[in-house]
Amino acid sequence: MSYAITASLLRVDLKPGKPPILYVDTPDNAPAWAADHRHALRTLVTEHGALLVRGLHLRDADQAGAVLQRLGVDLMTDKQSFAPRQTYAPGVYSSTPWPPSQPMCMHHELSYTHHPPGLMLFACLTPPTSGGATAIADAATVLEALPSELVHRFEREGWLLCRTYNDEIGASYGEAFGTDDRTAIEAYCRTAGIEFAWQPDGGLRTRQRRPAVTTHPVTGRPCWFNQIAFLNEWTIEPEIRDYLIDLYGAESLPFNTRFGGGDPIGPDVIRLLNDTYATHTAREPWRAGDLMLVDNVRTAHSREAFEGPREVLVAMAEPQSRFFRPPADELSPG
């Protein structure tokens, strides 16, 4: 029988340097438990920014997917991803493919889209033998720790995401937009405020300017909300960056970020951003069957380097409406 549980009845373990952890024991019906506790869990995520639920005994993709669907209700379709994911069920995906030896630094999922998710859900089926944590950092705290001059510049200009789609590195434009129809892609880009230009070789180049700081829809606190460091060329391993520049040219990297006015972002700024995130990072190694819920506006997340197999399912929910500049004219080809 279904019954409502209030957040006050769930005791959360709070320790410095670790995400909030809720210990449970639900060996029988994890999807039903998730449905019964959905509102209480969401309240705790709003209060703490993230919540690791340990003890659900998630065993396989079908069971984990059912849990994610009950917690996220109307799950979002992955759009504009920078690498193709495997789809397990509607709205339930594999983690973004990324070399295990290279960390994915702190970011807010799909912060460059018109309607980024407000809630991220992760389910661990197979933890790696070492590393691989989905670490978190509080976006309001990070914002307060950054130099005011840098923050003010990003507040004035926003940030610019530059992408060059090809069939070799990352998601192709067909995979990113869910269609190969150029007319449909162009219509999507115009609606989403994305400048675009078809290249002579058949590729696609896009630019989109987005705010770097946003206000949390519930708490009202300003949050550092973007993927400036994660998608910047200076976060890429030096030898890989040099290889990509040799292959595609400095202006045609698969992805890069700039100041909103178009100026390059130097390695000193990216180092500062990543160091600030590192200072405020909380982490807990994955265990098989773990579930994590992350407030995608208040909390940045990362994926640390790892060894061994790692299977973590991902879902996104609660699309947010945010202010963006009006759609710009298309880029001139070239």
User: Which tens digits make up the pLDDT trace of 130-140?
Assistant: 999 999 999 99
Residue type, 135: A
pLDDT at 257: 98
- Determine how β-strand 92-94 pairs with β-strand 311-319: antiparallel
| Integer Cα distance of 48 and 46 in angstroms | 6
Name the residue ranges covered by the structural domains of the chain.
14-100+116-137+284-318, 140-275
Q: Please check whether the two domains, 14-100+116-137+284-318 and 140-275, share a CATH topology.
A: yes
- Residue 2: is its pLDDT beyond 50? no
- Residue 333: is its pLDDT beyond 60? no
Which residue in 6, 12, 20, 33 sits closest to 283, CA to CA?
Answer: 20
Average pLDDT of 268-275? 98
Tokens encoding 100:
């295990």
| Integer Cα distance of 192 and 209 in angstroms | 10
| Integer Cα distance of 207 and 331 in angstroms | 8
Count other C-beta atoms under 10 Å from residue 34's C-beta.
Answer: 22
CB 234, CB 244: distance < 8 Å:
no
Largest CA distance in the chain: 62
3-state secondary structure of 280: coil
**Cβ-Cβ contacts under 8 Å for 33 (sequence gap 6 or more):** 24, 26, 56
pLDDT at 329: 44
Which one is predicted more confidently, 324 or 227?
227
| Integer Cα distance of 293 and 312 in angstroms | 13
Which residue in 134, 153, 150 sits closest to 142, CA to CA?
Answer: 150
Average pLDDT of 2-11? 64
Comparing 42-46, 119-123, 152-156, 243-247, the range with the smallest average pLDDT is 243-247
Helix axes 30-48, 61-72, angle to 10 degrees: 50
Average pLDDT of 86-92? 92
Q: What is the pTM of this model?
A: 0.92
User: Taking all residues of the chain, what is their mean pLDDT, rounded to a whole number?
Assistant: 91
User: Which tens digits make up the pLDDT trace of 278-322?
Assistant: 999 999 999 999 999 999 999 999 999 999 999 999 999 999 986
CA distances from 13 to 23, 138, 204 (A): 8, 17, 47
Comparing 118-132, 195-209, 238-252, the range with the smallest average pLDDT is 238-252
| Integer Cα distance of 224 and 229 in angstroms | 12
Which residue in 76, 77, 248 sits closest to 170, CA to CA?
Answer: 248
pLDDT at 14: 95
Q: What percent of the chain has a predicted confidence (pLDDT) above 90?
A: 77
- Residue 331: is its pLDDT beyond 70? no
CA 175-180-186 angle, 5° bins: 100
- Determine how β-strand 117-126 pairs with β-strand 311-319: antiparallel
Average pLDDT of 317-333? 59
Which residue reads 């200076």 in tokens?
234
pLDDT at 19: 97
| Integer Cα distance of 137 and 118 in angstroms | 15
pLDDT at 228: 98
CATH architecture of 140-275: 4-Layer Sandwich (3.60)
> CATH homologous superfamily of domain 14-100+116-137+284-318?
Clavaminate synthase-like (3.60.130.10)
User: Which tens digits make up the pLDDT trace of 28-68?
Assistant: 789 999 999 999 999 999 999 999 999 999 989 999 999 99
CB 140, CB 53: distance < 8 Å:
no
Which one is predicted more confidently, 181 or 11?
181
